Amino acid sequence: KQFKTNKNNSKFFFFKNKMVKPHVILTTFPAQGHINPALQFAKNLVKNGIQVTFSTSIYAQRLMDEKKSIDNFPKGLMNFVPFSDGFDDGFDHSKDPVFYMSQLRKCGSQTVKNIIINCSENGSPITCLLYSIFLPWAAEVAREVNIPSALLWSQPATILDIYYFNFHGYEKEMANESNDPNWSIQLPGLPNLKTKDLPSFLLPSNVKGSLRVALPPFKELINTLDSEINPKILVNTFDELEPNALKAIENYKFYGIGPLIPSAFLDGNDPLDSCFGADLFDKSNDYIEWLNTKENSSVVYISFGSLMNPSISQMEEISKGLIDIGRPFLWIIKQDEKNKENEKKIIGCVEELEKIGKIVPWCSQLEVLRHPSLGCFVSHCGWNSALESLSCGVPVVAFPQWTDQMTNAKQIEDVWKSGVRVNVNEDGIVESEEVKRCIELVMDGGVKGDEMRKNAKKWKELAREAVKEGGSSHKNLKAFIDEVAKGY
């Protein structure tokens, strides 16, 4: 079965003196958290009659093909044509990410350009290029072939604002003063931010941030946008969630077009649109049956995303906290050779854990978040997870690790008030007592827990309203499509 498309939405316009149909190429960084929202946006374009060529790395595309996760995409309007990142058989990102990024630029820019040329030669010219985070070179390719481009930003607008202001007058202050834990900064249109609230790549003192591997691409991205006459940014958020952040940069045109979540889990308008369609990992099959045996709002769901697990020390503390609480839990521990060893170590308490909960390597997160047994989400606060928790009305124990997660946790606790953020000790570890305190605060039905659940449900309704016909994200999507159809 395929999701719905509107066959009456076909548009034509003059492009390079020819009457053509709008055709977007959407290029995305080859990671699960980047591919998911990009694919969902591609589906939204297709539903509105826009032809899309979806392009990620050859290796990521191969994984998607092997898992047959894209079989339900409509043929004709949606094509998958991968680019080469220089590592067509995969790359171990723990080795040299700087080298990977340089090869991605070198090989990716040439192959994306070739894809665009081939489409034109085959009578279906690309009329607009969309690119994701870490692919600013794609905008250069668009300029070379004389087509417009726009950024598909898969983090909150607040994060792009922070990077923008960092590179426009605040860089020295952030770099020098942010070592002081009592320091804070008020950026235009944003809440007051302390050191612990900033994206970790901006903090010289941060262990992972000190690698600063992502900072040069972010700077290049801002420079790329600044060089555009009318830079356009499509953001996986909605106007009601970030009203000020979407207007904080005068020179940029933001379109809140989220949440980029399959319709079956959001507005229900298209029940067949029930997955992103880009599983890069094998998932378990029996966790839903296990959840079905649990009482409503009783289960603690723990997941730290697709990139990494916490340290062994941290996993031990989480394990102790879960055993002390005694509540049923579903814990996602991503498996590779290293993590198999880690799992053995933690968990000298595996038997105790398995008496009360379930550990699986991967799952369909939206299925879990929508399950009536779910009471709380212990999350790393990657943006996809944060937005999914808001869209499903699930309160959060915010457990950020690095990059944008720190800022997302700040917003969840202080701005959207749909969760509580854990405190770390001097070694950066969240101790078992703190894990227990935060989960019980959300789950035990006190005044604060009730407020979090109430706010989570409020954001769930606002997210649904945003994507419905006439909602803010629906209007913004239509406005962007109209510009694409006019050949902006």
Separation of alpha carbons 324 and 336, rounded Å: 28
Separation of alpha carbons 92 and 432, rounded Å: 32
Q: Does the annotation mark 371 as catalytic? A: no
Separation of alpha carbons 187 and 167, rounded Å: 12
- As a residue count, the chain comes to 488
* 289 contact partners, CB below 8 Å, separation of at least 6: none
**Pairs from 209-216 (Cβ < 8 Å, separation ≥ 24):** 209/402, 209/403, 211/97, 213/97, 213/98, 213/101, 214/134, 214/403
From the candidates 34, 371, 380, 474, give the one annotated as an active-site residue.
Answer: 34
CA dihedral 319→316→364→80, nearest 10 degrees, is 180
Separation of alpha carbons 53 and 91, rounded Å: 24
Separation of alpha carbons 20 and 483, rounded Å: 14
Kindly tell me the number of DSSP H helices and DSSP E strands found in the chain: 17, 17
Q: Which two tokens stand for residue 336?
A: 């590779």
Separation of alpha carbons 195 and 407, rounded Å: 10
Q: Are 438 and 422 in contact (CB under 8 A)?
A: yes
**Catalytic site positions:** 34
